[in-house]
Amino acid sequence: MELTGKKIVLGLTGGVACYKAAELCRALTKEGASVQVVMTDAAEHFITPVTMQALSGKQVYSSQWDPRVANNMAHIDVTRQADAVIIAPCSADFIRKLAHGACDDLLSTMCVARPRHVPLLVAPAMNVEMWTNPATQRNVAQLREDGIAILGPAAGDQACGEVGMGRMLEAEQLLAELIASFQPKVMAGKRVLITAGPTFEAIDPVRGITNLSSGKMGYAVARAAHEAGAEVMLISGPTALPTPFGVTRVNVKSAQEMHDAVMAALDGQHVFIAVAAVADWRVVNPSAQKVKKTGDGSVPQLQFEQNPDILASAASRTTLAGHPYCVGFAAESENLIEYGAAKRERKGIPLLVGNIGHNTFGQDDNTIILFDENGHTILPRASKLTLARQLISEISKRIDQHSLFRRP
């Protein structure tokens, strides 16, 4: 659970996207958050406080003049304990209020009264014309200047029947953004390129050779890098995983395609993390047609040739922006410490991550070991996301001294 112990104020304003706020409330509590719902009068036209009370397990606040609040200070008390305030949906009118510091209902008063260290995130939801209206855009720019995080909106079909920008982000995306808001922004301003998943080497149009990599570790690293504030590009072999929110994904199949995609994207990257389980060999001349079974029981003879080593190529390349900090992964079945240190040298990289236990493919947990120029450090067993966050933190500490690895 990602939000255990966190106190979240979930504000709802008027908009049909209130139905998504019900889902968001549920998702927040499932992650362990304690959720205090606050609704405007307009929100109550779209969804009832009873629904939100049932989902949050707490009485909903909506009025400044609520006789249930003994000291009549809900606008102060609630935000003093909050770890974050998220307004979803946030209407054009509520954005206007926030931009001007209005205090004419409980929710707007709460936003103004909240301590400055409590982050405020808003998820706009409105018709495309309302969103693109210059007045709304002026107000949104003001919110950004005031340090308020604007989540979305997305483009697409709107409940009003029109199409365009203004749809509220889905609950799971808002949840991911809220979780990300609690992560330290140690990679702000950095560009990070990551490979993940297996590769697929064709034998013919319907058959091929691949491996059991699920892509979970690489996707966790991509998510953690995005949460840390980096601009992330994920070059992925075939996996069944959803793209982490905020990450640009390029799909490839073979090692050669992965190599070409990495080389095309490498310029300007600050960090390259090769997590993919790349096939070492590919079939020479894969058949253009499906290979037929023969009646005499003879079997096809496959010939292999070596694939390019993507990590080693990236590590030896100097780009316009200098040399990216390259990180490799190693899955050895024995002598990990000895082989890991040697592999780091051989690949010419400053940091190598070893998986302890040779079959981590498809698992949610892992134990990893970091090899750098000073030796090795074990990161104890944890979820792949936790380890990915630790890895990103370790990389962020090292990239400032990265001039050591800058080639002439």
Which residue of 10, 21, 128, 274 would you call a contact of ligand C5P, by CB under 6 A?
274
Per CB under 6 A, which of residues 313..352 are in contact with ligand C5P?
328-330
* Nearest residue (CB) to ligand C5P, 137 versus 313: 313
Rounded Cα gap, residues 163 and 141, in angstroms: 23
Cα 340 from Cα 353, distance rounded (Å): 8
Shortest CB 264 distance to ligand C5P, Å? 15
In the window 193-232, what residues touch ligand C5P (CB under 6 A)? 195
Comparing CB distances to ligand C5P, the nearer of 168 and 255 is: 255
Q: Which two tokens stand for residue 202?
A: 């064709």
Which of 195, 366 has the CB closer to ligand C5P? Answer: 195
Say whether residue 177 binds ligand C5P (CB under 6 A). no
Phi, psi (deg, nearest 5) at residue 196: -150, 160
d(CA 216, CA 359): 13
**How far from chain centre, in Å, is Cα 91?**
26
Nearer to ligand C5P (CB atom), residue 9 or residue 326: 326
Enumerate the β-bridge partners of residue 156. 164
> Binding of ligand C5P at residue 311 (CB under 6 A)?
yes
Let me know: does 43 contact 12? Beta carbons within 8 Å: yes
Nearest approach in angstroms of CB 49 to ligand C5P is 52
Q: Which stretch binds ligand C5P (CB under 6 A): 50-58, 201-209, 222-230, 275-283?
A: 275-283
Q: Where are the beta strands (DSSP E) in 197-276?
A: 201-204, 207-209, 231-236, 248-251, 271-274
Among 276, 351, 385, 395, binds ligand C5P (CB under 6 A): 276
The minimum distance between CB 206 and ligand C5P, in angstroms, equals: 24
Residue 252 as a binder of ligand C5P (CB under 6 A): the answer is: no
Are the CB atoms for 125 and 45 separated by under 8 Å? Answer: no
83 binds ligand C5P (CB under 6 A): no
* Contacts (Cβ under 8 Å, ≥6 apart) of 113: 75, 76, 79, 103
Task: Estimate to the nearest angstrom the gap between the alpha carbon of 392 and the chain centroid.
Answer: 13
Q: The tokens of 110 are what?
A: 């709460």
Q: Element (H or E) spanning 219, and its range?
A: helix 216-227
Residues that contact ligand C5P, how many (by CB under 6 A): 13
120 part of the interface to ligand C5P, by CB under 6 A: no
Cα–Cα distance for residue pair 406/247, rounded to 1 Å: 27
Query: In terms of CB distance, is 39 or 261 closer to ligand C5P?
Result: 261
Helix (H), strand (E) at residue 378: strand 375-383
Give least dist CB 278 to ligand C5P, A.
4
- Would you name the residues annotated as active-site residues? 160
What is the contact surface with ligand C5P in residues (CB under 6 A)? Answer: 195, 255, 274-276, 278, 307, 309-311, 328-330
